[in-house]
Amino acid sequence: MIEVPETKLEFTKELVRDTGRLIQSLMSQNLNIDTKQNAHDFVTNVDKQAEEFMVAAIQAMYPDQGFITEEKMIDNEVKHDMWIIDPIDGTTNFIFQKRNFAISVGYYEDGQPQFGIVYDVVGDEMYVGITGEGSYLNEQKLEPLDPKVVLKDAIVNADNRMFKTFKVDLDEHIMVQRYLGSAALEIIAVAAGRTNSYMSRRLKPWDIAAAVIILKEVGGTWYFGEHHDAIAYADKHEVFMSGSNATILESLIALR
């Protein structure tokens, strides 16, 4: 079992809650909205402020840490101790819905997952996964996922563009399709047993780094690019496919 640095975990949980309060305090103000790679790839002043707040707090508490962050308010650099941060996962939802977004923080040592936190700010739901110890929702342990569910009985979260990458009409092979618009929360939905799969055509490490730790600890599985049940630090888009069990994931891969 990997020994999780409890002081870092408790520190990070409190930091994430403080960041959530900061985000909520800024939500009612006028947002400065910019775009990044395309016209619908949004970033706001709140994303940037939240990331700066977290990075500064981590640096003040722990020296010589490495970071991979979405908004790059600090130079991304790989070190032994790695923090992979998405200050607002689901920025479009944050801007237009004021809900269905999350703070995501994954902590890794020498490339190995230690703990992941995904915090649904508006819903006040904090999901925590601790490698070798399990996953929790607001301190209540999550139950292991059902290993017997098959694809035809599965709820699959993905957008229509992902569905179009399959060789078959995927709707005929599943129970139903859903889509929320926050990778971290959609992976969490699988981990919590509310859905059975989440897929996306193009995700980056900060979209999944925390949530997959939580998913793994309840028996879920995934592919990210060429990586099985692992992530890569590279700042590039990869296909992501997950399942609440291996049968569902392998069935999806076979149809693609």
* Interval 51-69: pLDDT, tens: 999 999 999 999 999 999 9
**216 vs 41: which has the higher pLDDT:** 216
pLDDT class of 164 with cuts at 50, 70, 90: very high
| CB half-sphere exposure, 218, CA atoms < 13 A | 28
* Interval 165-188: pLDDT, tens: 999 999 999 999 999 999 999 999
pLDDT attached to residue 211: 98
